[in-house]
Structure 1
Amino acid sequence: MEIIILHAPGIEKALEKELDKLGLTINDKSRGRIIVDTDLEGLYKAHIYLRTAERILLKMGTWKCHNFDQLFDGIKELNWSLAIDNTWNIKIDKVRSYRSEIKSSPITQKTAHKAILEALNCTEKTNNRKPANIRLYWDKDELLVGLDLTGDGLHKRGYREEAGKAPLRETLAAAMIIYSGWQPGYPIHDPFCGSGTILIEAALMDLNIAPGIKKTFTFEQMNFHEEDLWKKVKREARLQAKRELTSPLSGGDNYDKVLDTARLNAKKAGIGDQILFYKEDATKGEADFDEGYIITNPPYGERLQDKQKAEDLYRSLSQWNESYPSWRKVIITNNEKLEKLYNQQAHIKRYIQYGSLDVTLYQFN
Structure 2
Amino acid sequence: MKKVTLIATATMGLEALVAREVKSLGYEDVQVENGKVLFTADVSAIARANLWIRTADRIKVKVGEFKAFTFDELFEKTKAITWSDYIPVDAEFPVIGRSVKSKLFSVSDCQAIVKKAVVDSMKKTYKTTWFQETGALYRIEVALHKDVATLTLDASGIGLHKRGYRSLHNQAPLKETMAAAMVMLTTWNSSRPFVDPFCGSGTIPIEAAMIGQNIAPGFNRDFAAENWSWIDKSIWNQAREEVEDLAKYDEPIDITGTDIDHRSVELAANNAIEAGFGDLIKFKQMQVKDFSHRSDYGVIVGNPPYGERLGEKEQVEHMYREMGEQFAKFDTWSVYMLTSNEDFEQLYGKKASKKRKLYNGNIKTDFYQFFGPRPPKVSE
Say which SS state the counterpart of residue 137 (structure 2) adopts. Answer: strand
Aligned residue type for 1:49: W
CA distance in 2, matches of 1:300, 1:16: 29
In the alignment, the residues of structure 1 paired with residue 134 and residue 57 of structure 2 have an alpha-carbon distance, to the nearest angstrom, of 26
| CA displacement, residues 311-345 of structure 1 (integer Å, 9 cap, x when unaligned) | 22222221144222111111111222211221222
Equivalent runs, 1:37-52 vs 2, <5 Å:
37-52=40-55
- For 2:64, the equivalent position in structure 1 comes to 61
SS of residue in 2 equivalent to 1:89: coil
The separation in 1 between residues aligned to 2:85 and 2:222, in whole angstroms, is 20
Q: Is 1:9 aligned to residue 12 of structure 2?
A: yes
Whole-Å Cα distance in 2 between the matches of residues 301 and 128 of structure 1?
Answer: 48
Q: Select which of 111, 114, 118 maps to 1:112.
A: 114
Q: Does 1:238 align with 2:244?
A: yes
Q: Tell me the amino acid that sits aligned with residue 330 of structure 1.
A: Y
Distance 1:34 1:85 in 2: 28
**Residues 142 and 291 (structure 1), Cα distance of their counterparts in 2 relative to 1, 3 Å cut:** same
Distance 2:195 2:38 in 1: 35
Task: State how far apart, in whole Å, the 1-side matches of 2:42 and 2:333 are.
Answer: 42
TM-score by length of structure 1 reads 0.94
Shift of 1:355: 2.1
> Residue 317 of structure 1 contacts residue 342 of structure 1 at CA under 8 Å; is this kept in 2?
yes
The residue type equivalent to 1:86 in the other structure is V
Answering whether residue 292 of structure 2 is matched by residue 286 of structure 1, we say yes
Note the C-alpha offset of 1:137: 2.3
C-alpha separation in 2, matches of 1:81 and 1:234:
28
| CA deviation after TM superposition for structure 1 residue 256, in Å | 2.1
- Aligned-partner Cα distance in 2 for 1:313–1:104: 47
Q: Helix, strand or coil for the counterpart of 1:345?
A: coil
* Runs of 5+ consecutive residues of structure 1 not aligned to the other structure: none
Work out whether residues 19 and 32 of structure 2, in 8 Å CA contact, stay in contact via their aligned partners in 1: no
Give a deviation string over 1:62-91, Cα, whole Å, max 9, x none. Answer: 111111111111111123222212322322
Question: How many angstroms does 1:140 deviate by?
Answer: 2.5
SS in 2 for 1:157: coil
2:313 alignment partner AA: K
Residue identity (%): 33
Task: List per-residue Cα deviations over 1:74-123 (Å, max 9, x = no partner).
Answer: 111123222212322322223132x3222143212211121112122276
- Structure 2 residues not aligned, in runs of 5+: 372-380
Distance 1:109 1:303, change over 3 A: farther
Q: CA shift at 1:124, angstroms?
A: 7.1
- Mapped contact 1:49–1:210 kept (Cα < 8 A): yes
Could you tell me the TM-score, scaled by structure 2's length? Answer: 0.90
**Residue pair 2:51, 2:216 contacting (<8 A) in 1 also:** yes
Residue of structure 2 equivalent to 1:344: 350
Paired residue for 1:163, among 165, 169, 175? 169
1:240-284 Cα distance to aligned partner (Å, 9 max, x none):
222234221011112222111111111111112211111111122
Whole-Å separation in 2 of the counterparts to 1:145 and 1:137: 7
Q: Which amino acid aligns with 1:164?
A: N
Which residue of 1 is the match for residue 313 of structure 2? 307
Structure 2 vs 1, CA of residues 305 and 66 (structure 1 numbering), >3 Å: closer, same or farther?
farther
**Which amino acid in the other structure matches residue 338 of structure 2?**
I
Secondary structure at 1:203's aligned position in 2? helix
On the 8 A contact 1:60/1:79 being kept in 2, the answer is: no
CA distance in 2, matches of 1:46, 1:284: 41
- CA-based RMSD: 1.9
Code of the residue aligned with 2:95 in structure 1: it is I
Q: Distance in 1 between matches of 2:309 and 2:62?
A: 36
Counterpart in 1 of 2:146?
A: 140
Q: Which amino acid aligns with 1:22?
A: L
Q: State the distance in 2 between where 1:314 and 1:230 align.
A: 47
Is it true that 1:225 corresponds to 2:227 in the alignment?
no
Aligned to 2:200: 194
* TM-superposition CA deviations, 1:209-252 (whole Å, max 9, x none): 11111211111221221111221121121122222342210111
Quick one: which amino acid aligns to residue 78 of structure 2? I
